[in-house]
Copies of this chain bind each other. A is one copy, B any other.
Amino acid sequence: MLSIDDVQKLITSEIKNTNFIKKPSNLYEPIEYTMEMGGKRVRPLLCLMAVQLFGGDISKAIKPALGLEVFHNFTLLHDDIMDNADVRRNMPTVHKKWNENVGILSGDAMLINAYQYIAQCNNKMLPEILDLFNEVALGVCEGQQYDMDFENRMDVTVDEYLEMIRLKTAILLAGSLKMGALLANADEKDAQLIYDFGINIGIAFQLQDDYLDTFGDQKSFGKKIGGDIIANKKTFLLITTLNNATLEDQTTLKSWIKADNFSEDEKINAVKSIYTKNLVDESSQKLMDKYYNNAMENIAQINGNKVIKSELIHFATKLMKRNN
């Protein structure tokens, strides 16, 4: 049995020892570049922890687990083109370092490469694993499309927002855990429970991430505070305020959204004070707690290795930067 730290080391060394580069180099170098940017490798980690939770053989699951990481990095690569992002993890994005065509095509190759890793599981399990992966992968695209659609809409509802983050963030985490369960031959009920755990943790994580983007401490959050406010990102905070605040606050908020020339700090402070005045910071934390507690109920019901279970709970809690 490997601890979560040892699994993380295993994944890191596996990626480091993989040679992603073949010919033509303009196709494959961006893949190596993207895979070596780092990151917490959360998805393969969840997959392999789920394998251990249900007593499976981690060595037979490492390749499909890597497929989840390759897939995740593919989504970042293409998302960066769509968002016109110049920098990721302090490095130039692929379409900036090379060009947009290279970004599109090497992303496509990465998606296919992800399937090559997924295919390296036990043949008997392949149909179920592939169906799961296809469903998750398509869901992530749907989530990204909703997110882009929301940019041009002022009438997004909280339910629509929750469905968007379920698709864009939560199902890949949930799918990674469920893939581990399937690879370990867990029974259907447990596979569903670990999936539900992933969905609930994923939604709670995204709500928390959005909350911290506005109300976090810059040092511990790691990103500049207020980025979502500046970009008018349709988060739970903004959507709830647009739907529920006093008419006066809605008008002020909308004028900040439309504003072209403004001091960033002034906008951040003004919007933040509308949020707190309307208590959306509190309702965000309450909703986050609800999903977090649901996740804890899910995992409590699972029949699996107790040590791994508590490691997973600890990891999920840390991931959410909660204080408890």
A24 within 8 A of B: yes
Chain B nearest CB: distance from A142 CB in Å? 6
Residues of B within 8 A of A24 (CB): 142, 145-146, 149
Across the interface, do A138 and B119 meet the contact criterion of CB distance under 8 Å?
A: no
A159 within 8 A of B: no
Across the interface, do B138 and A113 meet the contact criterion of CB distance under 8 Å?
A: yes
- Which of B82, B119, B146, B149 contacts A104, CB < 8 Å? B82
- Which of B105, B131, B138 contacts A82, CB < 8 Å? B105
Chain B nearest CB: distance from A300 CB in Å? 34
Residues of B within 8 A of A119 (CB): 127, 130-131, 134
- Which of B137, B144, B145, B148 contacts A112, CB < 8 Å? B137
Which chain B residue has the least Cβ–Cβ distance from A109? B141
- Which of B107, B112, B127, B141 contacts A134, CB < 8 Å? B112
Contacts A26-B148, A109-B141, A115-B130 known; 20 new A-B pairs at CB < 8 A: A24-B145, A24-B146, A24-B149, A27-B141, A78-B104, A78-B105, A81-B104, A101-B148, A105-B148, A108-B111, A108-B141, A111-B111, A112-B138, A115-B115, A116-B138, A119-B131, A119-B134, A123-B127, A126-B127, A126-B130
Q: Which residues of A contact B (CB under 8 A)?
A: 23-24, 26-27, 78, 81-82, 101, 104-105, 107-109, 111-113, 115-116, 119, 123, 126-127, 130-131, 134, 137-138, 141-142, 144-146, 148-149
